[in-house]
Amino acid sequence: DTEVTQTPKHLVMGMTNKKSLKCEQHMGHRAMYWYKQKAKKPPELMFVYSYEKLSINESVPSRFSPECPNSSLLNLHLHALQPEDSALYLCASRGPGEGSPLHFGNGTRLTVT
């Protein structure tokens, strides 16, 4: 079982739809991450939140909009996506300390049609 919970597990959306991915953790971690993973590739960092503030945006297109409502929740709002945005979207959190590892959720498998 993972301590980072992501919903939904699967999502199919059209290019004109608006949808949101959700992530929740109750480990008290104050750093939360969104990654995108294409098939047979490593995860690519998208966004980092630290203490509920956006600290890193890896030049992600504006059709992806992150939100951190509180220290336990992380959302990723999706709008006007392209088929090439289809991927596994992973949420992760990290505890204090430089060497603390990332804890990943099981991801949302997104298909854009």
Partner 1 sequence: AQSVTQLDSQVPVFEEAPVELRCNYSSSVSVYLFWYVQYPNQGLQLLLKYLSGSTLVESINGFEAEFNKSQTSFHLRKPSVHISDTAEYFCAVKAWGSQGNLIFGKGTKLSVKP
Note the residues at the interface with partner 1 (CB under 8 A).
2, 4, 6, 33, 40-43, 45, 48, 55-56, 90, 92, 98-99, 101-107, 109
Closest to partner 1 by CB, 4 vs 76, is 4
Closest to partner 1 by CB, 55 vs 82, is 55
Beta-carbon count within 10 A of 59 CB = 5
Torsional sign, CA 89, 9, 77, 73: negative
Closest to partner 1 by CB, 84 vs 98, is 98
> How far is it, in rounded angstroms, from Cα 80 to Cα 73?
23
Check if the beta carbon of residue 6 is closer than 8 Å to that of residue 94.
no
Q: How far is the CB of 39 from partner 1 (least distance, A)?
A: 10
